[in-house]
Structure 1
Amino acid sequence: MPRKKLPIGIQTFREIREDNCYYVDKSGMAVDLIQTGKAYFLSRPRRFGKSLFLDTLKELFEGNRALFTGLAAEPVWDWSRKFPVIRVSFSDGVLQSRAQLDQRIRELLRVNRERLGLSLPAGLPETDLAGSFADLIRQAHQASGQRAVVLIDEYDKPILDNIDHSGVAAELRDGLKNLYSVLKGSDEHLKFVFLTGVSKFSKVSLFSGLNNLTDITLEERYSALCGYTDADVDMVFAPELPSLDRKLIRDWYNGYNWLGTPVYNPFGLLLLFRTRQFKAHWFETGTPTFLIKLLRERQQFTPDLSRIVASEALLSTFDVDNIPVEALMFQAGYLTIADVWQVPGRSEYTLKYPNLEVQTSLNDCLLQSLTDGRSPPVGKLYRLLQAQDFAGLKTLLHSFYASIANDWYRKNELSGFEGYYASIFYSYFAALGVDIRLEDPTNFGRIDMTVLFAGQVFLFEFKVVELNPAGSALQQLKDMAYADKYRARAEPIHLIGVEFSKTSRNIVGFEVETL
């Protein structure tokens, strides 16, 4: 329901319209966490509401009952007790050296001391960051008579901001490790600890000794702790839905999954309601330049991004010296869980793009990285497919391959193989946001790529002529009777054989037959 005045710390969106605000109540989950544990870690992508959830925890522990009137926490929380809260956030600004990090930590500790009415003891230098933090926790407990609450937001941001400079990132990691190591030794003075971030760095590298931290990132009951569910959208934001395609809202922004109820990224969804335009609102707030660089360096076959299989151990942790692509993409929000396979003691996850926003935007970035930042004319591809203009389609794709810098081929050892030409081809269509099926299974074999679009079926077969001199791509589509799988749809079926040459580095054959 819309409210004119919302409780601070619960409000999740301000001023969609000048006269309407909305809120999604997560206070019940907050109480559940507090009652069932003591120290938690939660990883979620940027702009997912992590900071806001910590605000909710802060207001609960400080006993601000008026902010929770009518919410799930009000009848079940003990409002007679108030706890000292130490709030540390690295969300603001970019720190580029250990000295800058240490200065920020000193300032954060000073602000918390002043807010709690405490002072730094004589003889304890501000430069002793671990000692100052430990003293702050101890004093907060002794002065209030209640054990302290420590809330750390974006604990890993200083490292991630410098992840493409491993030396700097390692220095910042060591500085943060010095700070966080205090938590283990201060256990007797702590009531509750909650850390949030985008990535989970290994305990050895960052949380050494902090073995009592419960990671709830992949706990089913907390999957929707941050983000909005379909039910939230239909109930809370119902006044914003008229004139917007409900299925398109779901396809474009929903789909993030941490083994429970799928959720929407709040930032993108709320900007949709404000602008009434389906755009890459979340993606555009932070172009993943390091990720694109990593994908290119490791010669990632882009069609595999939508079907990666990874173990729980691989997804859950990494370090600045060892960054698996799967872990980085999952933790940063560019991939999410599609399926899980479990046996006692082991879990494996199939990953996928969470939604069309990420699929289209990430593939567009990958294409731009091949052509010195020039955005491919995806809109033209849309119009050519819609009009069944195959001569124009061939010209468009030929022109794009011709625009790829020679440097890319020189550095890409696998550029002569079929998969890497198909990878670029796939990314072009994925950037369009159409329904793509890779290695599409039939009773005779697998179609390289199927595209379902505008009441039409496009079946693609790819070949590199130097590797397959005996037969054409189109003939294979016909010989294998791949079209039979889609005849029952009673839609036009286009068989498209695409042949590449590793010598000319371009399309040398493009045959089409429509059934």
Structure 2
Amino acid sequence: MKQQSLKRCPIGIQTFEKVIEGNYLYIDKTEYIYRMVHGASNYCFLSRPRRFGKSLLTSTLHCYFTGKKDLFKGLAIEKLETEWTEYPVLHFDMSLAKHVDKETLESMLDVQLFEHEKIYGKPERAVTLNDRMKTLIMRAYEQTGRQVVVLIDEYDAPLLDVVHEDENLPVLRNVMRNFYSPLKACDPYLRFVFLTGITKFSQLSIFSELNNIKNISMDEPYAAICGITKEEMLEQMGGYIEHLSLSQAMSKEDALLKLKEKYDGYHFTWPSPDIFNPFSLLNAFEDGKFNSYWFGSGTPTYLIEMLRKFHVLPSEVGHSLQAMASDFDAPTEKMESIVPLLYQSGYITI
């Protein structure tokens, strides 16, 4: 494969439509999407570390549920899906609500609700955030005649930065609980609900009230729903490996070994394929270098604070640790060990 024939790597692009229409490299994950949306549960939660493709996955779901069939030409789901029904989609991005207080958080939620209310309208009596969410879902259902899809990306972002704060965490958690609470009451009007995040917080309605929410984070069928497997890399990124090996004046075999050493080894269940970090891999191919891209993009504040809370030194991270599977389902603010959070944040793996 000639270098000029390689598609551009979608560095920092989290919109499926832009990736496809811009003819960027796309690693096909649509088979997992089909499996998920036609599964037993209409409520799914996926936990993955930062910069692992959660937002792109959510955007792909958005395009699928709005019936944009043309974008999926040549992808796995094109052969699997036969209906391509267009549903009303309410898409919320909570990544914008980091390092915020109660008033700022409520203001940001207000703005996101308002964007959807411009389409479906807002009754005067709907004032509180949860009332507005409820009426928004019901109006979208009534006006389109179809059940509603709710996509919430990085649902836990407003809470992570205060997870170590006994005073602020309950305040922000209460705001988010009220915002999410209508999802249970609106069940008859909902086709599908999907949430992404890094970790799991207790006392949020999505987990305490929606007892039918399916946490697929550690389910074997979804182990590779985000990230890039070795097979995907070899089959779909051969030209990029060749270009990288030429840039580094090394054989293709040596380049593969170096890629494995630097960016491989994520496991999200057992058994699990080896998962390469997509942010690091794409940057390495784009630059023709082996740099520490993911780690260099910044360590989250919440993790530093939680290391202090558990009296764990950074030098202690990375040694062989043991934990029960049940530990990973414990609410974040009630964890008795730093291990689950280190795993969910991507600093240790199974």
Q: TM-score, normalised by structure 1?
A: 0.60
Q: Tell me the CA shift for residue 105 of structure 1.
A: 1.0
- Residues 217 and 132 (structure 1), Cα distance of their counterparts in 2 relative to 1, 3 Å cut: same
Alignment of 1:105-504 (within 5 A): 105-114=109-118, 117-125=119-127, 128-202=128-202, 207-242=207-242, 243=245, 245-259=255-269, 260-296=272-308, 298-300=310-312, 302=315, 305-320=318-333, 322=335, 324-337=337-350
Q: Tell me the CA shift for residue 45 of structure 1.
A: 0.4
Q: Tell me the CA shift for residue 318 of structure 1.
A: 2.5
User: Would you say 1:74 and 2:63 are equivalent positions?
Assistant: no
Q: Deviations over 1:39-89 (max 9, x none)?
A: 100000011100101111111111111101111111322445210000011
Q: Which amino acid aligns with 1:31?
A: Y
SS across alignment from 1:88: strand
Structure having the higher helix fraction is 2
Is residue 218–residue 258 contact of structure 1 (8 Å, CA) maintained in 2? yes
Tell me which of the two structures has the higher relative contact order, counting C-alpha pairs closer than 8 angstroms and 6 or more residues apart.
2
* Structure-2 separation of matches of 1:13 and 1:305: 38
Is residue 14–residue 22 contact of structure 1 (8 Å, CA) maintained in 2? no
Residue 9 (structure 1) aligned to one of 16, 26, 46? 16
Percent of aligned pairs with the same amino acid: 33
Q: Tell me the CA shift for residue 95 of structure 1.
A: 4.1
* Structure-2 separation of matches of 1:288 and 1:8: 23
Segments of 5+ residues of structure 2 without an aligned counterpart are 249-254
- Residues 11 and 170 (structure 1), Cα distance of their counterparts in 2 relative to 1, 3 Å cut: same
Q: Which amino acid aligns with 2:172?
A: L
- Residues 2 and 140 (structure 1), Cα distance of their counterparts in 2 relative to 1, 3 Å cut: farther
Q: Deviations over 1:310-358 (max 9, x none)?
A: 1122122333364630111011111111xxxxxxxxxxxxxxxxxxxxx
Q: Tell me the CA shift for residue 288 of structure 1.
A: 3.9
**Cα RMSD after superposing both structures:** 2.6
* Structure-1 separation of matches of 2:111 and 2:309: 39
Q: Deviations over 1:18-59 (max 9, x none)?
A: xx8311111111011111131100000011100101111111
Is residue 148–residue 190 contact of structure 1 (8 Å, CA) maintained in 2? yes
Q: Partner residue of 2:25?
A: 22
* Structure-1 separation of matches of 2:226 and 2:8: 23
- Residues 160 and 14 (structure 1), Cα distance of their counterparts in 2 relative to 1, 3 Å cut: farther
Q: Tell me the CA shift for residue 285 of structure 1.
A: 1.6
Q: Deviations over 1:111-163 (max 9, x none)?
A: 1222xx211013222xx110100111111111111100000000000001233
Q: Deviations over 1:367-389 (max 9, x none)?
A: xxxxxxxxxxxxxxxxxxxxxxx
- Residues 223 and 42 (structure 1), Cα distance of their counterparts in 2 relative to 1, 3 Å cut: same
- Residues 316 and 24 (structure 1), Cα distance of their counterparts in 2 relative to 1, 3 Å cut: same
Q: TM-score, normalised by structure 2?
A: 0.86
Segments of 5+ residues of structure 1 without an aligned counterpart are 338-515
Q: Tell me the CA shift for residue 3 of structure 1.
A: 5.1
Q: Partner residue of 2:64?
A: 60
Structure having the higher strand fraction is 1
Pick which of 46-55 and 322-331 moved more.
322-331
Q: Deviations over 1:207-245 (max 9, x none)?
A: 321111000000011000000011121122211112152
* Structure-2 separation of matches of 1:278 and 1:51: 25
SS across alignment from 1:75: helix
* Structure-1 separation of matches of 2:49 and 2:153: 13
Pick which of 315-324 and 244-253 moved more.
315-324
Question: Rg bigger for which structure?
Answer: 1
* Structure-2 separation of matches of 1:250 and 1:168: 41
* Structure-1 separation of matches of 2:145 and 2:304: 51
* Structure-2 separation of matches of 1:232 and 1:83: 31
Is residue 86–residue 148 contact of structure 1 (8 Å, CA) maintained in 2? yes
Q: Tell me the CA shift for residue 298 of structure 1.
A: 3.7
- Residues 13 and 65 (structure 1), Cα distance of their counterparts in 2 relative to 1, 3 Å cut: closer
- Residues 329 and 118 (structure 1), Cα distance of their counterparts in 2 relative to 1, 3 Å cut: same
